[in-house]
Chains A and B, each alone.
Chain A
Amino acid sequence: MMQRRLQLLLLIGLLCGLAFALDISTGPSSLPLRDVWAGLFDPSALSDAQVTIIRQVRLPYALMAILVGAALSLAGAEMQTILNNPLASPFTLGVSSAASFGAALAIVMGLSLPFVSADWMVPVNAFLCAFASVLLLEALARSRAAGVEGVVLFGIALVFTFNALVALIQFIASQEALSQLVFWSMGSLGRATWTNLIVLALVIAAVTPFSLRAGHAMTALRLGEDRARSFGIDVQRLRFFSLLRISALAATSVAFVGTIGFIGLVGPHIARLLLGEDHRFLLPAAMLTGALIMSLASVASKLLVPGTLLPVGIVTSMIGVPVFLALILRRPERA
């Protein structure tokens, strides 16, 4: 059983590698695969322009797809467990919208915070708003009156509220700020830079060990809150730190690529179908499936309309909706 799971993890990892290779090999400037590899490992064989395309555009975009997919999917997997809801994800429960709102505020109002440089105001404000929305969800999840349905409804209400607020900001924004905002709402890998990549990689590297360490506790939480607490798990603490990780992952991702839907929902579900809910396997598997889907979406975003790079957020939603529907219609088999 354990071996089969490790093999599956390895297989999804390999597929990720393939998707990544495909991703850096596709693009509007038709470079054959051979040239792409040359651009990475032996740049002397290519023109400067070609090397720049490969090293400053294709490689960071493709890496960003992998990192954002992994981050959003891990955030979704944790969220589904700690809120005990299969529909939870940063996108469906308003965390991404909150981050967009935070970013919009920073872009349009030119907000500033002490100790935060102007360059980082947008991602930092996106993070703060995402974390605030997550805390709201957490408070609601804890109150007995709201119940699981209440949390989901409230999350959906958050999506609408923040979208309305973003629309309001768009309405009053200047031309220049507006174009930045539109980029946000679509979600695109087009702003991937090496600095962004390093920051996101550091966030993932900082968060993942704690996620994995909480794996046992999260597995036990799947058996119900009372049972988990009776097994000695401080569920409130588990939730709080998990929400902290979720907002770091979701907010950083959204801060760098804008709103990307459905990866955080669909990635964990595919991982769960393949490997079950032992979180020692589920969490890494969710990261890999998220990375895989995002990488494939990135490829699709270049191929769907030849010569045009579609914002990847549009593509993930198009892939996400049918998968989402299939998951909703799937009924558990009973003995």
Chain B
Amino acid sequence: MMAGFDDALGVIGLSAGYGGRTIVHPLDLAPVTPGQVVSLIGPNAAGKTTLLRALAGLHPAQGSVRLGNRDLLRLPLADHARFVTYMPQSLPQRVALTVLETVVSALRASPVDGAIGSDQAILVRAMEVIERVGIGALAMTGLDHLSGGQRQLASLAQALARRPRILLLDEPISALDLHYQLRVMKLVRELAAERGMIALMVLHDLSIAARWSDRILVFAEGRLVADGPPAQAITPDILASVYRVAADISGPPDRLHIDLRDILDD
């Protein structure tokens, strides 16, 4: 079932910080419609992870994050988790759990959409996701025996199993080789289209962000400096002001070629 426009993600006056210091300045976003894949780019320490964690309800924040007419930040944790799943950058080391056990534990942690109750139903759903992510053969393998890329896929399987309306991914491909990078991006796109899921991810690779996203948010010093389709948001001027690099950008809008020429000094 495709969700309607009623289920758009809206962000109004969202701000977050540590102690007295503001990391994310009040942010308003035009609605993100179901099925959209949005990438959040920007230099290190721009506040991207804090923004993502605030959207996930994991970091104290002011303002409102709406899904349709629900104010997500006012929901109790377990209700919030029915709609939003956050995937952190990495899985902890030295965890004696198999891939299947981790996905099952994600499903059992709190109620998820699509009523599943019995042990058997949970196992079936967990295995479906693991197969879909492409690590079916590793289902019974311990996390500590996986490569970095496989761990990232296991982590993705945990998040996807909950079938969130909004999937928040923090640098999902940073540890991956080219093959796995494309695999993750393709899968996220497919599932966004299939389920009407909104995917919002922090990425560092601008070419990949441009190729696989419907919309790019450029974030610098806790503020949104550009927001739009890749060709509008990734321009030489913006790269110069945000990353302090000189770049040439060519190619059609959905296949931007970014050629980094030099760094710009102050």
Contact = CB atoms under 8 A, between A and B. Distances in A.
A220 B94 contact: no
Interface in A232-254: 232-234
Contacts of A335: 145-147, 150
At the interface, is chain A mostly helix, strand, loop or mixed?
loop
Interface string A207-250: 00000000011011011101111111110000000000000000
Nearest to B170: A226
Given A223-B92, A226-B58, A334-B145, A276 B109 contact: no
Nearest to A216: B108
Contact of A222 (B95, B146, B159): B95
Contacts of A217: 109
B106 interface: yes
A172 interface: no
Contacts of A229: 57-58, 77
A272 B95 CA distance: 10
B214 to A, nearest CB: 23
Given A216-B105, A276-B101, A334-B145, A222 B92 contact: yes
A231 B92 contact: no
Given A226-B53, A227-B158, A276-B97, A233 B146 contact: no
A332 B78 CA distance: 34
Nearest to A237: B77
A1 interface: yes
B225 interface: no
Nearest to B84: A230
B54 to A, nearest CB: 12
Contacts of B106: 220, 223, 231
A223 B77 contact: no
A149 interface: no
B102 to A, nearest CB: 6
Given A227-B88, A229-B58, A231-B162, A332 B94 contact: yes
- Chain A interface residue count: which class? 20 to 34
Contact of A232 (B109, B142, B144): B109
Nearest to A224: B92
A233 B86 CA distance: 13
A230 B86 contact: yes
A332 B98 contact: no
A48 interface: no
A219 B105 contact: yes
B82 interface: yes
B144 A334 contact: yes
A42 interface: no
A50 interface: no
A223 B161 CA distance: 15
B144 A223 contact: no
B209 interface: no
30 contacts: A217-B109, A219-B97, A223-B92, A224-B91, A226-B53, A226-B88, A229-B57, A230-B81, A230-B84, A230-B85, A231-B105, A231-B109, A231-B162, A232-B78, A232-B81, A232-B109, A233-B77, A234-B78, A272-B96, A276-B97, A276-B98, A276-B101, A276-B142, A277-B95, A278-B105, A332-B93, A332-B144, A333-B144, A333-B145, A335-B147
Given A227-B88, A229-B77, 5 more contacts: A223-B106, A226-B88, A227-B87, A230-B56, A231-B105
Interface of A: 1, 84, 86, 216-217, 219-220, 222-224, 226-234, 272-273, 276-278, 332-335
Interface of B: 53, 56-58, 77-82, 84-88, 91-98, 101-102, 105-106, 108-111, 140, 142, 144-147, 150, 155, 158-159, 162
